[in-house]
A and B are shown apart, each in its own frame.
Chain A
């Protein structure tokens, strides 16, 4: 939408404000095709997905929770929320970024290659970040790290010059603080 809006004289006055990053929590009926509906909405309407996670959260009721990190102007984020609400098997859409206190966590597994000084440096840093060693050979480690996406980014940046081989990240799961549910 943004790229087109920039060109078009129909460009909405709405699209002028700055882009923000939002985390949406979407409670859906866990039925075949529901993920395709959500992902198809984003591709079909030209919205961004930075990360997306999904898993069943209430087995008996067949409920899954999808957490989507997206970017857009506040007006676009508002549209995304309402467009998601139109999807029939969706129970509830919550823009967690609009809640005052939200916790975001991501899990990453990070494979690092190195010997000698590099190896011990990697291990020292992993301790500072509270990363766990979940696999090791004489010349490599795999670290498991849970934290905010920013913390994982920081750790990955530090590992890069040391000998980063590959990363696998889950994408963000998020929840609000306090006693109340979504």
Chain B
């Protein structure tokens, strides 16, 4: 089944064999042969972005919303360096990408040739793995290996750097059938004894909590199904990280909401006071733990993760199970059933009573207004008006992202695309484009901030060109709100450079690109305006003018513990200076 062809043809052939239907890219001298090969076929559609960073985030959106590997194609030098933010983003959020980069011909490498940069050197630290293809003989194997590495184990971005002479060279193409990687074989099956031990710990728990994360989404929809089953069987409360939203439905009875810095009061207190914590595909990020030596001090911790380096990285684990979430969850459920285990109902009832007490604090409440649109209200209305549709949500980074996480409720995995680990402003619009390419008939909305959206605004052109009806829903507070909030809390309200001055007229901007612009500043008009946005068959920029100085609460101040959260009500109390809650050490943290 090997066939003689050029390197460029092999690349397209390998994409087809890997089931790739869409590639996000931008041409240039060092990838012209590949563009020529793309031109002569129809199986793989190329989406021309307007900046290579956009290609990377679009591929991320495509990947996260489908579970498949996202692919981007960029030229050498500036093409590759422009893609780097997206690669770093995908690495931190465990998103499978294959990034094909052009390179100068092999004999010119190292000579400071035109548009040469050391792509494998530069991307070594922001990829899961990378390759420089030095000869045509290696090309088919490396291409298939790249897809294997990107998608297996803990997923991540892989760069394949392709010198131009290799693209022109003739060689024998091999299909992906026999890719058996000699070194990279992640452990997928959890240790049976440990699983048994974990399940027994769970059955004895008095104050348990399940803390699930992005790994459940990475593991595929089946893992989410099993997670729901486990919650059902045990009756345990469950919270999730930003990256894991949707794995357990927000409408589920046992749902505590998101945990962490901007998580709910009940989720964080449950974590703090629990006696058995079951972490599933979550990595104890500093947004979750707060002050480490005060993090859930009295609990035994079970951690299920596919990457051994995630275990004991920041928090001491009592029982580690290395394996894929779906496998381990499946085994846990079987053991629970086979041994006829039962949760400690009586203890659990008391625990739920305590949790309901925390819930009663209504930590996501905010002061409503009849005159200005509160950002939380805007997200709530957006949720109510879109929840019965087939909707995907992406976000930029800032307060709006947190309000989206708090007030938009997800029932299914792969519906929520956000930049969690790197926190990349400019992620949301290209990610929405990638998502819309994968789900042409669905409603795709980027919940944005007016500052973030300008970082990759140019991708509006891409949306228009491909008739992608993405909706950009800007919570326009005229501030880099998240920065402003920190300056208010930590720097005496000195708003250094965080005001969004000289903003464009977003309505006219939308029209200039060939899309539709809508502006709304009246809460009474909001529903009608949102429906107008949804009904418009093309891309829309919705400029939602919201109250300017709203802060995002609840919040665990930096350097504090889960049970030292600040709630909105406290911040409203006259005389309480939040700045004084955060000590000098806390101020050094991000």
Give the interface of A toward B (CB within 8 A): 7-14, 29, 32-33, 36-37, 40, 44, 75, 78-79, 82-83, 85-91
Contacts and interface: CB of A to CB of B under 8 A. Distances in A.
Sorted from nearest, which 5 A-B pairs have the closest CB atoms? A82-B309, A9-B559, A88-B129, A82-B308, A9-B585
A14 B308 contact: no
B157 to A, nearest CB: 13
Given A36-B124, A40-B125, A44-B125, A10 B312 contact: no
Interface in B476-493: none
A61 to B, nearest CB: 9
Given A7-B588, A78-B312, A33 B184 contact: no
25 contacts: A8-B585, A8-B588, A8-B589, A9-B583, A9-B589, A10-B290, A12-B315, A13-B292, A13-B293, A13-B316, A29-B182, A29-B183, A32-B134, A33-B120, A33-B121, A75-B312, A79-B313, A82-B308, A85-B308, A85-B309, A86-B309, A87-B129, A88-B181, A88-B183, A88-B184
B196 interface: no
Interface residues of B, number: 34
Given A10-B290, A44-B125, 4 more contacts: A8-B589, A9-B559, A9-B585, A9-B586
B139 to A, nearest CB: 15
Interface in B571-589: 583, 585-586, 588-589
Nearest to A10: B292
Nearest to A28: B183
Interface string B282-293: 000010011111
B541 interface: no
Contacts, number: 73
A14 B314 contact: yes
B308 A12 contact: no
A83 B291 contact: no
Given A36-B121, A75-B312, A12 B292 contact: yes
A88 B307 contact: no
A89 to B, nearest CB: 6
B206 interface: no
A89 B183 contact: yes
A28 to B, nearest CB: 8
Contacts of B308: 82, 85
Interface string B495-533: 000000000000000000000000000000000000000
A36 B313 CA distance: 23
B136 interface: no
Interface string B106-140: 00000000000000110011001100101000000
Contacts of B311: 82
B149 interface: yes
B286 A10 contact: yes
Contacts of B181: 88
A91 B132 CA distance: 20
Contacts of A11: 292-293
Contacts of B125: 40, 44
A88 B292 contact: no
Contacts of B291: 9-10
B134 to A, nearest CB: 8
Contacts of A87: 129
A90 B312 CA distance: 21
A36 B121 CA distance: 9
B483 to A, nearest CB: 21
A10 B590 CA distance: 11
A22 B439 CA distance: 51
Contacts of B149: 88
